[in-house]
Chains A and B, each alone.
Chain A
Amino acid sequence: MTEKLTLTGLSTRPAQTWGGVRLVPLVRDEPIEDLRLDARLHDDPGLDEDPRGHYDGPGLDVVEIGRRDHYISYIPHAFVATWTSDGTPAAAYGTQLRDAAKDGPAPRRMPLRFHRRMARREDRNRLRFMPQHLAMEGYLALHFGGPEIAWKEWSHRAISRGLSPRVEEAYTGTQVRGLADALRVFEIHPGQCGVVVYAADALAAAFVVPHPADYRALHATLVHDLYGELIHHYATLTMPVPDFRARIADAEVRSLADLRAAARHQTEEWAAFHDRFMAAGLLGPEYTYQRVYTMGRYRLSRFLPPFERRRENHIGELITDENGRLAYLKTFRLSENQVRRGHLLTELAACDWNLAATAAALGVTEPELGLRIEGAGFGHLLRQDVLDRYRAHARRSGRTR
């Protein structure tokens, strides 16, 4: 099923810029109370380091969350915390929904081994995302399970493990120039539940959570998040982006009431402009959704873009309620190379990983497709002898030509 992404229940507020980074706050008129960040993340003492941590609004403090009788909790993908009793940190693998009342088993996770530098940071036990490329790699592996039918061309490894050990290039937020400062000086709106991050006015990521308290807890972690190489380059090369400053025409104002109306019009105009034009690359395309899990009235899905080349392509995860209201969203913008790879994988998946059928669908010969797979970095998925045959075929045809 394909469908557009909508920011139901969220309204856009004026952007705040810092250098080349523009952050657009998304405010929820009514916070979602029965879906909350997992309490184990809220209990994290690292939260107190942030001056914002002390300033949660009335009724949003951690203790109260712990006391709530029944709610569903979620754990964002790649979130590092101590999930098990043995005290080792691990990263959540895929966003997960849980029943907060029950003390269920530890979430699906990947144990982490830190290098020395990481270990020191881990001592501070701060909320953070998984380091390096793990998260991105995990994303693609989650989205593409690998061949479902064991066609003879696929290697043993591809069938048993899927695409798992793929490494995708991505940069942490700390490497994106200006992002850390932009997040630091950003003034969180009351009721804010999400943000859209732009670097040089290219949409880098959208992030939405159910409740303002969750957002405040997670705001600083956006800097540990991952961003594609496109965003990294844009942020490095860009000049400071200008503010969209309010402009009111003198002529039409005759009283304070006129002035107020004009001011309100400015705000509305900006929201409409943002949703229609600036976020068009995210909200415009039709996405393919894959339902992962349903708990209570909430449904966790992953979505894939159409993989159209030379267009914005975002992948991500989202949680919606039964009315389609967006509760949680996290997106990652793919780079052009990733889009090409994604395109190839989608075609393969559409043809049930049958090479001949896919080659026909793409209008190329089977050996050409094989080399394309290798060129895209998936060579290890094909059986070695099959790949060799393709190579030999290419050499032969090259000589005859």
Chain B
Amino acid sequence: MTAESTETFADLVAAEDVLLFVNAAITSTGQREFHSGEDEQGLSLGFLHEYLLGNYRDLYAATLALDVNDHNAALIIRNLLVTAGEADPERRRAEGRLIARRLALLPPPRVYRLFRELRRARINNRRTRAIMRDWLAARPDLAFDAVKYRGAVKTAFRHAHLEPRGELGTFLFAPRRKAAYATPILESWRQAHYRQEAIYDLPYTVAEGFAAKHGIPRAAFLERIAPRLTRLERLRLQESARALKADAVRADLTAMPLTRLASYVLGLPPDDRVRRRAELTEALRAAARRTAGEQAGRWGRVAAVLDDSFSAYGSAQKRRRPLAVALACHFLLEALASRYTPLWLSGRSDALLVRPYGATPLGERVLDALELGPERLVIVSDGWDNAPPGLAGEVLRIWRTRLDPDGACGVVHLNPVYDAASFDVRRLVPGVPSAGIRDAENLVALVELARFAEGRTGLPELRAHLAHRVTDFLDAEPPETAGRVADEGDPAAGAAGEDVRRTPREDARRTPGEGT
């Protein structure tokens, strides 16, 4: 062991545990994967959450500042709120800031689902209510939320003991009582019950139900609802709309996030991909350039081994996710590197036409990559090396110990799949860091974090890194909400976190109103 003398064995274990958890929290969404089912994933992940919360509460909360996925962020927040009593006031204040910041970043449906879970778990202390109140107060348009997520908003208001002001209260709790609403969106909702025109002012998901009620043909409906679609709805509906000849539904591919775009491309039949090659490639390249930012072209000679074996199909729940990550990484690395060589496991050279097919001869491909003599080697794979098993590990081990002992070539393994049985992403070999990855957008940050996984850096460095990330995370608050969330939104402000200055009811009056 090369650890410094000040570093205890416990520290090393702690560092390892945290990295384990981070890998899990980035990759696992509790959904079915290729090799393990939903239950296994949920059980394994739940254990890690409890373990980390029980042993390293501060580090557990700090992971909210990392790129953990939304599912795990919601779980962490829930767990922190459930066990708030175990933390001292100082700790709670720090947690409160992290929670408020993370909630502001989560998509609203995810947050409403979390609120529902809090209600189901009967967590209703003042701290929780204050957090809910502040989050609701920061929503730009509560009337819109009330229409789109009606049940959820109602639950949230009820659970946080808030009193929605004016029409919103009527709308949520006795919608049929009013003859007319002053707020346009609420009025549209009322009218949509009998007037077809009105549904086109509503959010797509709500309008869809009304369209079915009025028996509006799908094509006509899509054509007219197009302006109300969100960016991702547009991407999702584009293909089915095209089939119905509703041409108004057009997603601007160049503005899509990289991994999402890769998923979309992989969902297209091969013929379409060939036909739209120029458009798709340009969109993927643009997204990659945007993601790479100022790092573009700075990574030198890069080789990548990308997994397109059958297991990259993922599962029916996460369809082609591992492959989409690999494809997105391909385009991102192309933008980052000055010279780039992709090596797909199937031997395919046309990245746009990849499909999950065949076995995983990872060892052979890693050898091909090392022969190119790159400065960096990035392996994107689920780590199920099976043709033959373990060859990639052996190749990398011998490369590290005998052929390149100085580490001239930096090797990183990025794994998009959480292996429930081993409580971690599947590793290739101890000497090569393996990091979990969910979105290719995080690739740069992950490669940075991966050096901790090499076992050379210990807990103090890891703590310093986390502290740095937490500061960045809290400082990066958008200016319009920063003040409120930091000052008033801190639920633990004051002694013991119980000193919320306003009663919830008072605060409710300040809730930004309907349709402003």
Contact = CB atoms under 8 A, between A and B. Distances in A.
Interface of A: 13-14, 16, 25, 51-52, 55, 57, 185, 187-190, 243-248, 250, 253-256, 259-260, 263, 266-267, 270
Given A190-B358, A246-B388, A246-B389, 18 more contacts: A13-B387, A14-B387, A16-B389, A52-B310, A55-B355, A55-B356, A187-B310, A188-B358, A189-B358, A190-B359, A244-B388, A245-B388, A245-B393, A246-B391, A250-B401, A254-B402, A256-B370, A259-B399
Contacts of A190: 346, 357-359
B349 to A, nearest CB: 15
A285 to B, nearest CB: 28
Contact of B371 (A189, A250, A256): A256
A16 B363 CA distance: 15
19 contacts: A13-B359, A13-B387, A14-B359, A51-B313, A55-B357, A187-B309, A187-B386, A188-B359, A190-B346, A190-B359, A243-B390, A246-B389, A246-B390, A246-B393, A255-B403, A256-B370, A259-B367, A263-B364, A263-B391
A302 B410 CA distance: 57
Interface string B286-313: 0000000000000000000000011101
Contacts of A51: 313
Nearest to A242: B389
A59 to B, nearest CB: 13
A243 B389 contact: yes
Interface in B393-407: 393-395, 398-399, 401-403
Contacts of B311: 185, 187
B23 interface: no
A247 B389 CA distance: 10
A189 B345 CA distance: 12
A250 B452 CA distance: 26
B381 interface: no
A189 B359 contact: yes
A266 B364 CA distance: 11
Interface residues of B, number: 32
Contacts of A253: 398, 402-403
Nearest to B319: A51
A291 B386 CA distance: 39
A12 to B, nearest CB: 11
Nearest to A51: B313
B415 interface: no
A14 B364 contact: no
A81 B151 CA distance: 50
A250 B363 CA distance: 16
Contacts of B394: 246-248, 263
B387 A260 contact: no
Contacts of B402: 250, 253-254
Contacts of A246: 363, 388-391, 393-394
Contact of A14 (B358, B389, B398, B399): B389
A168 B401 CA distance: 57
Contacts of B393: 245-246
A34 to B, nearest CB: 25
A332 to B, nearest CB: 27
Given A187-B311, A250-B401, A256-B370, A270 B35 contact: no
Interface of B: 34-35, 309-311, 313, 346, 355-360, 363-364, 367, 370-371, 386-391, 393-395, 398-399, 401-403
Contacts of A263: 363-364, 367, 391, 394-395
B399 to A, nearest CB: 7
A25 B34 CA distance: 20
Given A185-B35, A246-B394, A259 B358 contact: no
Contact of A244 (B357, B371, B389): B389
A132 to B, nearest CB: 28
A21 to B, nearest CB: 14
Nearest to B358: A190
Nearest to B35: A185
Given A187-B311, A189-B358, A16 B398 contact: no
Given A188-B359, A189-B359, A259 B403 contact: yes
Contacts of A267: 388
Given A185-B311, A253-B398, A266 B34 contact: no
Nearest to B401: A250
Given A14-B389, A187-B360, A187-B386, A256 B367 contact: yes
Contacts of A55: 355-357
Nearest to A271: B388
A256 B403 CA distance: 8
Contacts of B401: 250
B389 A187 contact: no
A190 B344 CA distance: 14
Contacts of B387: 13-14, 189
A315 to B, nearest CB: 30
3 tightest A-B CB contacts, nearest first: A245-B390, A14-B388, A246-B391
A58 B387 CA distance: 23
Contacts of A185: 34-35, 311
Given A187-B310, A187-B311, A270 B360 contact: no
Nearest to B360: A187
Contacts of A16: 359, 386, 389
B398 A250 contact: yes
A218 to B, nearest CB: 16
A245 B389 contact: yes
B358 A187 contact: yes
A79 to B, nearest CB: 25
A10 to B, nearest CB: 16
A262 to B, nearest CB: 8
A137 to B, nearest CB: 35
A255 B371 CA distance: 10
B359 A259 contact: no
Contacts of A256: 367, 370-371, 403
Nearest to B364: A263
A259 B34 contact: no
Contacts of B371: 256
Contacts of A243: 389-390
Contacts of B358: 187-190
Question: For A250, A259, A260, which residue has the most chain B Cβ atoms within 10 angstroms?
Answer: A259
A24 to B, nearest CB: 12
B359 A187 contact: yes
B310 A188 contact: yes
Nearest to B395: A259
B418 to A, nearest CB: 16
A244 B387 CA distance: 11
